[in-house]
Structure 1
Amino acid sequence: MRRHFSGPLPAPLPLACLTFTLLAAAPLTPALAAETAAETAALTNGATSADAGQESPTSVGTGAHDRGGEILVTARRRQESSQSVPLAISVVGGEHLDSTGAFNVGRLQQLTPTLQFYSSNPRNTAVNIRGLGVPFGLTNDGIEQGVGIYIDDVYNARVASATFDFLDVAQIEVLRGPQGTLYGKNTTAGAINITTNQPTFDFQGKAEVSIGNYNFKQAKVAVSGPLSDTVAIRLAASTTDRRGTIYNVTTSQWIQSQDNIGLRGQLLWKPADALSITLAGDYSTQDANCCGSVYVGYGPTQRAANRQFPALAAALGYTPVSTNPFDRLTDLDTPLRAKNKIGGASVRVKWDLGPGTLTSISAWRFWDWDPSNDRDFTGLPIVALSQNPSQQDQYTQELRYNYSGKHFDFVVGAFGFYQRIDTQGTESQGSAASRWNINPGTNAQVPPGSSGCGPTASNKLACDPAVLDGLVAYNTQYLKNTSAALFGQLSWHVTPELTVQPGVRLNYDKKEGYYQRRVFDGQGDELLLGQSSYTPTQTAQLAIYTPQEISPEFSDWNFSYDFNVSYKVAPDVLVYATYAKSFKSGGINQNGVPVDSANNPILAAQTVKPESVHNYEAGIKTQFWDRRATFNLSIFRTDVGNYQANVSNGQYGVLRGYLANAQKVRSQGVEWDFSVRPSERFNAYVNGSYTDATYRKFTDAPCPPELSGGTVATGTQTPGAAGTPNSLSPANCDISGQRLPGVSKWTLSFGFEANTPVTLLKQEGEVYFGYDGSYRSNFSSNPSPSAYTWVDGYSLSNFRLGFRTDNGFDIYGWVRNAFDQNYFDQLFVGPSNTGLIAGLPGDPRTWGGTIRYNF
């Protein structure tokens, strides 16, 4: 039986009211945008044109075209038309990002259907493609990303960078499938290749201001121009501020706010036509009142009835502030904090050397994370503090040589990577922790108004707040991550129509970690293992936080390769097929490992095996109707062995989650992109995907909450029925054949823009009206699919209405989630198998206006 927790949908807006809303406040952008050929050349080689960096409307997705022109991409580390690249790629231009309000990767997923983005806070962020990338759940620093994020050729190791605002972006390419033979860091699921606008030798700039409901305020500015005949500079800044969408009645504050600032500077030196050197630096900060959750509901587990959420809440006199999550009310009692800083510097050297181009990218990145979370998801003082501040430094060096010729193109490169992460964690229990976590010894349902600590309570520890109040664990950990690789790809044009493209990669990875947990009681006395005996109080405390110290290590060599064949059936019809044998490096458990019955760490769980990836893909790319229309189709299948999965024992103690290998996973499906521009007055697009991503073999997975919480069945004992209190629980579950978390089978993005020339206030220009919509079917929001955590499918609609002129002036109104759809970004299972379900509602309807000027 599936249980869904979703509030009632509002009645449809009356047509007249909707029409007025659209006219007064419709959402962002000209349709889909990408750079023209001249603009993209300027972006990647050092701009010399006054038009460099200016954007014009076009469509989104593979083969998006600019009024019959081409979109140039650098997916294969050289400039070429997206339609000639034999791989699945979606292209989104900077103007379309701005206009649709897609100012970070989270909003980008509404435009690119096979991209999935989940974030409960910046650190716990996942970016996946085709359902693959990183495990769904709490972040573990000890594994690699499966989706690489590159900004101006610089690899960003932290997914946290995906939560920041896009800053002065020219174009984004979303590459689907393994990319290890062309990109510095090996990526098994795909890559997000972000290109920013580059310095120009002609003065130009742009400025933009937006305001909206929820006190939304956003400003962006970028200026570029020459300092001399050989030196040009570009400076950009952005700021985003918005009141939160959830009200915390405990603190009288709005949470889930936005408070972002971004700065970027670039200096281009061209001492000769064949040589360009770009020095870039950036800094971004977030200081939001974030990140929290709301009460969604209760789903029975197999725990004793008096140990489940309704009885525990009654015993502690607790009632959620609202049982309708879309009232957007919470009562979290732990102060929330999500301070996030990221930045760095890079030097890119491009030198036309001989028949090709030598490129060197040297970069340093840093990341500083300062959080505070409420991990019990309630207004009760159970988990009083949960925070794991982290600091990262990352150094990368990439060197590659590109050659393009009549019969051969090739790229050869080398990549070096070093990362150091230091984390200092603090977790502590509050005054309600004893009653919540310790069984008072009765299986009777707690009557209203009763604490459960009467004469029937055989375990008085549950009735003594001092047993766990003030219990604290200090976690110290570090990670040293080193990687080096040689890679290359050859394109052999056997005939003008037939191209054969093999690629290879040799990779070495080494990870060294350290994890220490020290535990102190409320009086400040340290709890140590190895004693001959423990008091009942100490035993109860050690069940919550167990001291641990491990030093996991992993190192390995890996060889991977791919092979692609493409054939031009006609000048505007390309067919291709690809096989790739790839891998994701092995990992280490940085957040602790499970313990045995004597509380000793199970050292075999310190490391996880590398993923072995086999990817098969075939596709067709077409343009027709005098290139007014583009249709691209791809089919794919990816088999993953030793899939790196997040698992959890469901308890507060020991650890919240750790990594383990699932035996086999498969993702397969179909993707398509269609765009049409019959004239300069209208364009439209429909992009979509069907993704079947499942565990093919995972026989010892953690059980979902409805099959957890009871005494573990042993020997010939038979586990109880799902969701039956006081039942025996299986030690683990076989979830083979079930869907991977976070993956919708069907996803769509669609939209159009129409315009008409007008003269307004003596200015020649055009009035335009645009629509961008997206749809995704239901998905699981728990690593092991649970009846309680399926997120219902939903559709979002964004509108915009505006006026723009040929001289760069643009003013428009916008409304996003126009029909105020109630939906969840994620659902969370509360700890300790109490059946509590919490959630993160998606944004409600927002509206506002934007003024932009390019000069």
Structure 2
Amino acid sequence: MTAKYPSARRRLPASALTLSFLLALGATPALAAETSADGAGADAADATVGAAGAAEAAGQIDDDVSRGDVIIVTARRRQETAQEVPVAISVIRGDSIEATGNFNVVKLQQLAPTLQVYTSNPRNTSVNIRGLGVPFGLTSDGFEQGVGIYVDDVYNSRVAAATFDFLDVDQVEVLRGPQGTLYGKNTTAGAINITTNQPTFDFEGRAEVSVGNLKYRQAKAAISGPLSDKIAARLAIAATSRRGTLFNTTSDRWINEQDNLGLRGQLLFEPNDDLGITLSGDYSKQDPEGFGTAFVRVGRTQRALARQYDGLVAAYNAANPTRPYAVPSRNIYDRLTDIDASLNAGNKIGGASLRVKWDVGPGTFTSITAWRFWDWKPENDRDFTGLSIVSRSQNPSQQDQYSQEFRYNYEGDRVDFVVGLFGFKQRIDTQGTEQQGADASRWSLTGAQAGIPGILEGLTASNTQYLKSTSAAAYGQLSWKVTDALTIQPGLRLNYDKKTGFYQRIVTNGAGQVLNCTPIPPATSLPAGSVLAAQCGVYQPQLTQPSVSDWNFSYDFNVNYKLARDILAYATYAKSFKTIGINQNGLPLNADNTPNLDASTVKPESVNHYEIGLKTQFLDRRATFNLSAFRTEIKNFQATVNGGQFGTVRGYLANAEKVRSQGIEADFKIVANDRLTAYANGAYTDAKYKSFTNAPCPPELSGGTFQPANAVPDYSQPGVPGALSPRQCDISGQRLPGVSEWAFSYGAEINAPLDLFAKEGQLYFGIDGNYRSRWNSNASPSIYTEVKGYALTNFRVGFRSDGVDVFGWVRNAFDVNYIELLQVAPGNTGLIAGTPGDERTWGGTIKFSF
């Protein structure tokens, strides 16, 4: 017996990329490897195909198709198989996501080799594809994402959305390469398109409960059905909780926990067969104790040896013999930390959207109106230690965004096209506080001042900032079938962006007095001046009000040729861009300690992207093998840089002259029969700074007295205490941070028929795993932030029948120790802190549906 549990409606998104990621896991063996691709045309809702309709369409397209994995899409306003579409999308179905435990985008990278996701907290999250997307490191509101995140066609402008649990998800698509001629918001590296299950006119429901070690609890439920013959509704809820993965000996509790709640409601109004109107609303909340780090290692810098981490701890202990300091463990895999500042990661996100689809003549008109909000309430420990150096660090933010998109799709015998208009408006307000603690003087000052806690204790930098962002675009793409085998597909986009920012930092001492640091008195002046010099050396008042706008014109061109019935070759060139950015977190300083106003804005990125590929099927279309090669060149790459100081230049944006990412991706999938499916995907990615001549130096070349301003930088004494430090470093030729050269994922599922409790069903066993080679966790690659490669393996075994699925699972089955992220502590002390990956977890899941 072969059980089938198709979605009531399969929704497949529009994209302009090459199909390269195929996943062979799902609710049934026959459908487990379901993947899909689409064409040059529409949004997710424009590719709706029911299971029966798909089967009928398959027969219409190719009467010879009787075996294999035939996926039907209508993204170009006609029904066609995925392998016939010369554009790219990687589809991971909702049931596969649940089966493999990848319940948010952060975890999804274990299934997609060319996806990289790093997070130290929801705000500081980087989502990259092929090593490109957002600057790696601390996040600034002043730049655009290179990887767009869409939920039901609605663009989410902040990457914090990526950290929430998937809620009633039908499928997730990982799109690779520049977007813009088909999507509302321009993206240069790709997109993650999340499609939720839609309301149905047939009554249906599902519920799922999971429990596991680490006090893991997860519950999901959804119900859908008609309210009348023209109105249908759907309601979904999900909640997740899990004990933290680090034990904080200071607070005597586990941190970095999960505490998530999500709700989504939808109403669908279909007055006739030509018109559909969907009103959606959602709300998600996170309230964990997080997020903190643990001690990893100490690396030598060029600071005086007594001013590096171990020397500073020794000096502190000598001055405080009754309460000496030592980290609870120097082995991060003991999962112990002692950070002493308050931790919070309160995160709320939600909104509403109205989508109208109207079939007009030979095409379809689509309107998407949306409002989104984001409320972020963090508290962090930015010194990464159990000492009170930075006693408070928080930047709560509130965001509102509004977007409107109009799109029209047309289908003809030889020509199809899509044209669209997109408007976007956003405002983000932030109120930041960073405060020095009782141990700050001992840590940051020298001589007699180091023994006077009151010099820095209570020193506070309070900032107020806002960002106003406006974007408008017109875009379109044409598909012209020159012959039955040859198709050309050009696309155009015209984009306007304006950003206005405001940043003001006021500095007060422990007595609450406002400091004036212009000019900073020399340290050799009167004692009062010496104290002020010390305080202004940590925090300086700033006021910047950048405003900048820009027009951009971009385009792409695709040519594809069908070499044989099941062999398609294609080539794509895209000229794309990432728009202007502004620095919102404070500016780096000039030699006289005044803000460098030239760094207020960063130039737009200019992107040239090339891609070729081959898509094939064989063994009666039961096997699929796709191969793609790409090269992306970016001028004025927007990078996050770190000057190693507290406050002012903890992280800011700058332009690297040129970056290049190139590589090869290969994907194989086989549906051997109804009992066995398997897949294997691999990627080689060579992502480098081709030219970045004025980058901040890594920690081993930092901390000493600066070399003369006009001197040729000397890199010959890394980690030598007291050596002169270059003012900037040329890191041209080094790899981009966060990118593994090699990445692989694989999986298989086998099943056998079984009658259990008078139910016909299947006993199944599944395995999935991934490997990635070493990568660097600092914007300027450092020998101290090299992360070793690792491989993870997951197993599951269960029983499924009509409406019931029960399975047990083990993730990271071999309990591999690995690092998710390393961070360089401020102050050039050589301290490296980090976050360990999840240890072995296990549990069980039961799912019901009707």
Q: Alignment length, in residue pairs?
A: 796
- 2:20 corresponds in structure 1 to none
Say which SS state the counterpart of residue 247 (structure 2) adopts: strand
Q: Which residue of 1 aligns with 2:829?
A: 834
- The structure whose RCO (Cα within 8 Å, separation 6+) is larger is 1
Tell me if structure 2 keeps the 8 A contact 1:30–1:753.
no
- How far off its partner does 1:655 sit? 2.8
* Equivalent of 2:740 in 744, 749, 752: 744
1:175-204 CA distance string (max 9 Å, x none): 100011110000000011111110000001
Q: 1:510 Cα deviation (Å)?
A: 0.3
Which residue of structure 2 lines up, in the alignment, with residue 821 of structure 1?
A: 816
The answer for the alignment partner of 1:443 in structure 2 is none
Kept after mapping to 2: 8 A contact 1:76/1:182: no
- Kept in 1, the 8 Å contact 2:26–2:95? The answer is no
Deviation at 1:68, TM superposition (A): 2.4
The letter for the 1-side match of 2:631 is R
- Residue 529 (structure 2) pairs with residue 535 (structure 1): yes
After the TM superposition, which parts of structure 1 deviate over 6 Å for at least 4 consecutive aligned residues?
27-31, 45-53, 74-79
Aligned match of 1:324? 331
Which residue of the partner structure matches residue 512 of structure 2?
524
Q: Which residue of 1 aligns with 2:493?
A: 505
User: Is the contact between residue 374 and residue 385 of structure 1 (CA under 8 Å) also seen in structure 2?
Assistant: yes
Contact 1:33 1:92 in 2 (8 A): no
Shift of 1:595: 2.0
- The verdict on how the C-alpha distance between 1:664 and 1:171 changes in structure 2, with shifts beyond 3 A counting, is same
Does the residue aligned with 2:724 lie in a helix, a strand or coil? coil
Any conservation in 2 of the 1:512–1:552 contact (CA below 8 Å)? yes
Question: What residue number does 1:276 align with?
Answer: 276
Q: After superposition, what is the alpha-carbon deviation per residue over 1:444-472, rounded to whole angstroms, capped at 9, x for unaligned?
A: xxxxxxxxxxxxxxxx1111000000001
Q: Which residue of 2 aligns with 1:44?
A: 45
Distance 1:572 1:46, change over 3 A: closer
CA shift, 1:42, in A, is 14
Give the distance between the partners of 2:332 and 2:359, measured in 1 at CA: 59
Distance in 2 of aligned mates of 1:169 and 1:255:
28
Match of 1:70, as an amino acid? V
Structure 1 residue identity aligned to 2:210: S
Whether 2:367 is the aligned partner of 1:360: answer: yes
In the other structure, the counterpart of 2:570 is: 576
Deviations for 1:540-579, whole angstroms, at most 9, x for unmatched residues? 0011110000001110100000000001111211110000
Task: Determine whether 1:641 maps to 2:635.
Answer: yes
Distance 1:36 1:767, change over 3 A: farther
Separation in 2, partners of 1:716, 1:407: 64
The residue that corresponds to 1:199 in the other structure is 199
Q: Distance in 1 between matches of 2:285 and 2:505?
A: 30
Which ranges in structure 2 are unaligned for 5 or more consecutive residues? 1-24, 55-64, 318-324, 522-527
Cα deviation for residue 617 of structure 1 reads: 0.2
Match of 2:696 in 1: 702
Contact 1:116 1:131 in 2 (8 A): yes
Q: Which residue of 1 aligns with 2:773?
A: 777
Residues in 2 aligned to 1:282 and 1:845: alpha-carbon distance in whole angstroms: 33
- Residue 803 (structure 2) aligned to one of 803, 808, 823: 808
Question: Where do residues 257-268 of structure 1 align in structure 2 (5 Å cutoff)?
Answer: 257-268=257-268
> For the structure 1 residues 376 and 190, does the alpha-carbon distance in structure 2 shift closer, same or farther, using more than 3 Å as the test?
same
Give 1:651-662 correspondences, 5 Å limit. Answer: 651-662=645-656
Deviations 1:222-250 (A, max 9, x none): 10000000000011010000000110010
Aligned to 2:670: 676
Candidates 759, 765, 768, aligned match of 2:764: 768
**1:307-328, CA deviations, whole angstroms, 9 ceiling, x for partnerless residues?**
0000101112221110110000
Show CA shifts across 1:666-723 (max 9, x none): 0000011110011000000001100000000011111100000000111458565101
Please identify, of 604-613 and 588-597, the stretch whose mean Cα deviation from structure 2 is larger. 588-597
The secondary structure found in structure 1 opposite 2:287 is strand
Q: Retained in 2: the 8 A contact 1:611–1:641?
A: yes
Q: Which of these residues, 697, 703, 727, is aligned with residue 723 of structure 2?
A: 727
Structure-1 separation of matches of 2:72 and 2:393: 47
CA displacement 1:810-851 (0-9 Å, x = unmatched): 000000000000000011111111000111000000000000
The Cα RMSD (Å) is 2.2
| Equivalent residue runs for 1:299-318 within 5 Å | 299-317=299-317, 318=325
Q: Distance in 1 between matches of 2:173 and 2:846?
A: 26
Q: Distance in 2 between matches of 1:171 and 1:623?
A: 23
Q: Secondary structure at the match of 1:316?
A: helix
User: 1:296 and 2:292 equivalent?
Assistant: no
Contact 1:43 1:197 (C-alpha < 8 Å) held by counterparts: no
Hey, what's the Cα distance between the residues in 1 that align with 2:173 and 2:658?
Answer: 29
Deviations 1:16-43 (A, max 9, x none): xxxxxxxxxxx99767454899xxx998
The answer on 1:790 being equivalent to 2:786 is: yes
Identify the residue that residue 246 of structure 1 maps to in structure 2: 246
How far did 1:71 drift? 3.1
Identical counterparts, % of pairs: 64
The equivalent of 1:438 in structure 2 is 445
Matched, 1:382 2:376: no
SS in structure 1 at match of 2:391:
strand
Quickly say closer, same or farther: Cα 1:541–1:370, change in 2 above 3 A: same
Secondary structure in structure 1 of the residue aligned to 2:161: helix
Q: CA, structure 1 residues 268+28, in 2 after alignment: closer, same or farther (shift >3 Å)?
A: closer
Q: Which residue of 2 aligns with 1:485?
A: 473
The amino acid across from 2:504 in the alignment is Q
Give the letter aligned to residue 85 of structure 1.
Answer: V
2:618 to 613, 620, 624: 624
Encode CA deviations 1:467-496: one digit per residue, 9 max, x unaligned: 000001101100000000000000000011
The CA deviation at 1:109 is 0.7
Residue 205 of structure 2 corresponds to residue 217 of structure 1: no
In 2 relative to 1, CA 407–824 (structure 1 residues): closer, same or farther, beyond 3 Å? same
SS in 2 for 1:519: strand
- Identify the match of residue 337 of structure 1 among 329, 344, 353: 344
Match of 1:371 among 375, 378, 384: 378
